[in-house]
């Protein structure tokens, strides 16, 4: 039996709020427990299986994908099991540990110069695809399978695990697949739910403004064509130093060693919680663990 059968059904845990018990309850979905170690494994598998079903992807094909790392790991796991070759383009200032993991799964990694912009890896993939037209780019930024997997699975898991009304959902925005897919499904359950987008300080994703930052896998220079801005109630900006402090808080007080974007989500959720009373429920996502960011942990 393939490890891919174990995708999903990740834990949902209640967090201890550093602001006290008088504010909204915050729940965190721990996506590091997926095969490949992140939420993006869901997206990778959905994209591959949908491409196989439609006939776009055939045995022996080579895949290419621009990725901040986690989609690449998911694609690498699935590709190694299904027999596809995989080429990944990644900004050259991203986690060295994550890049090494990708190589261990058999992916060919091509680094893009981060000084060329937040979307440098996307442009590098376009260059390589032009030179290798027989390669297939599943393109997580344009592929409807991205939000689809969160609508069908991630959101429904949250609904079933919590089994109580959800008042607010909080998520960083990378491609926008996670926040779009989950929010659409949660709004079907509660049309009045508040959806909070999270972005690095200095960025304004909804107005296409991006600046260099250290919060990997969010505000990457563009959003996906499927991103539904109308779902967003408001945005919260987070500072990298505060994100690191929250990551330390979680590991030291709750035994949760989460990644950088996870820390951004939790920080934003805690801030939002102070606007609600203790009867309200806020849910957010931990896309991956902190194990891929050890070199950045105290920076």
283 Cβ contact list (under 8 Å, min separation 6):
12, 26, 27, 28, 29, 158, 162, 166, 168, 169, 170
Q: What does 184-215 look like in DSSP terms, one character per residue?
A: HHHHHH-TT-EEEEEEETT-BGGGTB----S-
Q: What does 213-281 look like in DSSP terms, one character per residue?
A: -S-TTSS-S---TT--GGG--EEEEE-HHHHHHHHHHHHHHH---B-HHHHHHHHHHHHHHTTSBTT-E
Neighbours of 62 (CB within 10 A): 14
The one catalytic residue in 5, 14, 16, 40 is 40
Active site residue 40: yes
Catalytic positions are: 40
């Amino acid at each position: 039996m393939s490890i891919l059968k174990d995708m999903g059904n990740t834990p949902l845990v209640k967090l201890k709020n550093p602001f006290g018990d008088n504010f909204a309850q915050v729940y965190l979905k721990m996506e590091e427990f997926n095969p490949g170690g992140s939420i993006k494994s869901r997206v990778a598998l959905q994209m591959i299986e949908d491409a196989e079903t439609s006939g776009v992807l055939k045995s022996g094909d080579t895949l290419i994908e621009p990725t901040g790392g986690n989609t690449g790991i998911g694609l690498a796991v699935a590709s190694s099991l299904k027999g596809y070759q995989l080429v990944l383009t990644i900004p050259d200032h991203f986690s060295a540990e994550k890049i090494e993991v990708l190589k261990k799964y058999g992916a060919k990694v091509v680094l893009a110069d981060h000084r060329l912009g937040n979307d440098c890896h996307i442009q590098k993939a376009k260059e390589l695809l032009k030179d290798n037209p027989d390669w297939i780019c599943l393109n997580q930024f344009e592929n409807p399978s991205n939000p689809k997997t969160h609508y069908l699975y991630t959101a429904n898991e949250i609904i079933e695990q919590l089994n109580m009304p959800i008042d607010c959902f909080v998520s960083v925005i990378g491609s926008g697949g996670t926040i779009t897919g989950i929010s659409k499904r949660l709004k079907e359950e509660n049309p009045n739910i508040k959806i909070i987008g999270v972005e690095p300080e200095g960025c304004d994703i909804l107005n296409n403004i991006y600046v260099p930052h250290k919060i990997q896998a969010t505000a990457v220079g563009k959003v996906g064509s499927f991103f539904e801005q109308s779902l967003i109630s408001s945005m919260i900006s987070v500072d990298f130093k505060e994100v690191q402090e929250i990551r330390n808080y979680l590991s030291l007080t709750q035994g949760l060693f989460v990644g950088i974007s996870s820390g951004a989500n939790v920080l934003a959720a805690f801030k939002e919680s102070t606007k609600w009373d203790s009867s309200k429920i806020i849910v957010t996502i931990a896309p991956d663990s902190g194990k891929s960011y050890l070199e950045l942990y105290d920076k």
